[in-house]
Structure 1
Amino acid sequence: MEIFRASVTLLSLCLFHSSLSETESMCKGNLPPFQHVALNSSVTVPCPVLSAPEMVFRLYKGSDEIFYISVNNTIISKINNSPGMAFTVNVVDNSTSFILNGVTKNTTAMYTCEAERIFPPPFQQVEHKPQTIVFVEERPVKQHAVCQDVSYLVVAFWVVLGAMVIYGLVTTCIVFNLRMKLSQMDTPFKDRECRRKWQGVQHPTWQGFYIDTVV
């Protein structure tokens, strides 16, 4: 029964670890980077590098396009004018980014920046599409807090798993030793049964009697 319970517990922990491994892998880089910002502050959303004389950059909030801008030889032309939005180009490394100013709680979302090369031909869309998850809170939170919680859970899982494995091994050894000792013990009941088996069944002797009568 104890071995069965240990097996069920280990199976549950393994299932928990499978779901935990997915979260841990996201913290290692499969999930877009987080930007934790305070209310009414600014946040930067990175975009692809400026790699052609004329390019178009689009910013998406979720699946909705919210900003569209054209860059011609580092001259920025706003196609649609959205308040609180800005676009910058770093002339040193040609890195680009959108800037969201005066953010509110409604700004919280996942942002994707896409780019298209317009000139020189041919028209080509840039494969790299940076994504950023923005969290707007009353006060900023450390970006690595989520991954720290996951690491603590992983450590706790391995500690519990190790304890269960040790407990199972100790219990198995104890049960095995007890069975070995019981099989080697000679009980009075066992000796009596063995003697009966080897001596066979002895029938009692019947003694006759004689009645002498005188007529």
Structure 2
Amino acid sequence: MMSPCWVFMILVGFRISDAATQGQNTCTFNDKLKSVCVAAGDSVSVPCPNMTGEDFRLNLLKDQEVISNHTCSLGNKAPDCKSSSRGWVQLHIKTDNDSVSFLLKGVNASSHGVYRCEGQVRFPPPLLPAVPGAVSILVLIEGHQCKVPKQECSDNPWIWIWILALVSVTLYSVIITVSAVFFWVKLRKTDSQSDYMNTKPRAPRGQRKNRGVQNPAPRYF
């Protein structure tokens, strides 16, 4: 009866530890979504996938809607791209590793949303489906959607649910354990008293000696 309770409690403990580690180290709510809280006027980078085709297109999507796109060709050193985008969205290319990302400049309250970059090879054929970036960015603006410092995310509410579950299971296990020990001790005492009452008392030692002593009958001559 006790084993399933303790096993469940251990599993809950591991789940809480794992959830807390993910929340502190990566600030991610799943494998492809990252929450970023920034002040109004700051910039946010949205990474794009690495493309290998000679010609390809990079699209920036906000909440599943394309808001910017670039047509690129793979040069000798770095991608050469022609933009067709808004003024506050720029394409940023790192020369050290040739990585490409969209840069959202001067974000404000209306910039709140989920952004992701996807790329699609245009040449050589065949035409393949679009390739999404490694991570999507959820942009939160300080004073509107979040109240935490920059590059930090709010606490995961699931952690508190797991903590409450762990506390409940722990209290239940302790109560069951104490009750079982109490009834076991009480049962042992009852068995001991029953054994004592059923035991036949020993006869006194002096009574056995008195049985051999008899009053001699008087003799009449």
Provide TM-score, normalisation by structure 1: 0.63
Deviation at 1:102? 1.2
Give, in whole Å, the separation in 1 of the partners of 2:116 and 2:154: 23
Structure 1 segments (4+ residues) deviating >6 Å: none
Deviation at 1:166? 2.5
Give, in whole Å, the separation in 2 of the partners of 1:180 and 1:123: 80
Give, in whole Å, the separation in 1 of the partners of 2:86 and 2:42: 17
> Identity percentage over the alignment?
18
Segment of structure 1 superposing worse, 46-55 or 109-118: 46-55
Asked if structure 2 preserves the Cα contact closer than 8 Å seen for 1:50 and 1:95, the reply is no
Q: Which amino acid aligns with 2:122?
A: I
Gaps of at least 5 residues in structure 2 are: 199-221
Q: Does 1:173 align with 2:181?
A: yes
Gaps of at least 5 residues in structure 1 are: 4-9, 192-215
1:197-212 alignment, distance < 5 Å: none
Q: Does 1:102 align with 2:111?
A: no
RMSD: 3.6
Number of the residue aligned with 2:219: none
Deviation at 1:123? 2.4
Q: Which amino acid aligns with 2:139?
A: V
Number of the residue aligned with 2:172: 164
Question: How many residues get paired?
Answer: 173
Q: Does 1:76 align with 2:81?
A: yes
Q: Which amino acid aligns with 1:125?
A: P
Deviation at 1:49? 1.5
Deviation at 1:126? 4.6
Number of the residue aligned with 2:131: 127
Give, in whole Å, the separation in 1 of the partners of 2:88 and 2:153: 28
Deviation at 1:115? 0.3
Deviation at 1:117? 0.9
Give, in whole Å, the separation in 2 of the partners of 1:132 and 1:176: 59
Give, in whole Å, the separation in 2 of the partners of 1:51 and 1:143: 33
Give, in whole Å, the separation in 2 of the partners of 1:90 and 1:121: 27
Larger helix share, 1 or 2: 1
Q: Does 1:115 align with 2:110?
A: no
Q: What per-residue deviation string (whole Å, max 9, x for no partner) do you get for residues 148-177 of structure 1?
A: x76676566545533432332111110232
